[in-house]
Structure 1
């Protein structure tokens, strides 16, 4: 799909907000056993920058889930392609996500992880698009609320392209 990318959220704004989120997380998880679980592949850039800003002991793990079949709309079916490797029993889990759109992915992942008996599960997302919500879900830590636009960059993709753009951009079809 051919198109252009227009800056929606600059690299500087993203970096500043990540620093603010890290301070909130440090405060809320002080003296807790924190495991950050990134949802592949979109969360990689965000999670990498976020955990570098968090000045406390933590562990990381990853899950791979899919609800997009290669297009710009969610299929509505969430598949878990890779489970976490760490034991979550009694741990405080922070799911790190690139974007909450329909909410289906986060609801399914939270339900899946609850079966692993963590102490708590919260969500940190770079982007939130509440206008597209199909289920009731909120992120406890939200970078930016965005309008109903298809976005790429900073880990978000279109058919695996554009992830490496260092800002969040609106994809405009040619």
Structure 2
């Protein structure tokens, strides 16, 4: 068990399971983008670890960019997505692979979809390490899913609780 701020968390997903999921995601992405030069777009802050792992497994030429969006306060979403750090790279006519750490409500994806349409990308696909099907109510398709989980609040491997826990190599869930 670990404590972050005022909450206790218990082990949930091992580092080995996470690594296996990332390897499987990478195989799918590498197959679909063979002989293409995609732009990997990591969603900060949470996706920095999974993005680095997927990108370093990509054998071809690629570019990397990040955008920082925020919608959480504590353990709950505000329902409003703010752009905290925008895109500076030209994306028009490019193939983009969006890398998320977790998809739950899908509010961030709706904002990413808006941004990418505005930037006139030729196409994009979405990859996520963790996916909460119970919480996801949007229409956007998710192309690459690492691990489906129930609607638990989790920390570790890039995910945080009020800034703490991103550095943990395994994932913990909120203790009930």
Q: What TM-score, normalized by structure 2, do the two folds share?
A: 0.93
How many residue pairs get aligned? The number is: 172
| Superposed structure 1 runs of 4+ greater than 3 Å apart | none
User: In structure 1, how many angstroms separate the alpha carbons of the residues matched to 2:172 and 2:117?
Assistant: 33
| Matching residue within 122, 138, 142 for 1:139 | 142
**Contiguous gaps of at least 5 residues in structure 2:** none
Could you say what secondary structure the match of 2:112 adopts?
helix
Task: Provide the residue aligned with 2:71 in structure 1.
Answer: 67
User: In structure 1, how many angstroms separate the alpha carbons of the residues matched to 2:123 and 2:140?
Assistant: 16
Could you say what secondary structure the match of 1:75 adopts?
strand
Task: Provide the residue aligned with 2:115 in structure 1.
Answer: 112
Is 1:38 aligned with 2:42?
yes
Deviations along 1:84-143, one digit per CA (max 9) or x if unpaired, are 221111111011111111011111111211111111111110100111123223320111
Q: What TM-score, normalized by structure 1, do the two folds share?
A: 0.94
Could you say what secondary structure the match of 1:143 adopts?
strand
RMSD (Å), alpha carbons:
1.3
Report if the CA contact (8 A) 1:104-1:134 is conserved.
no
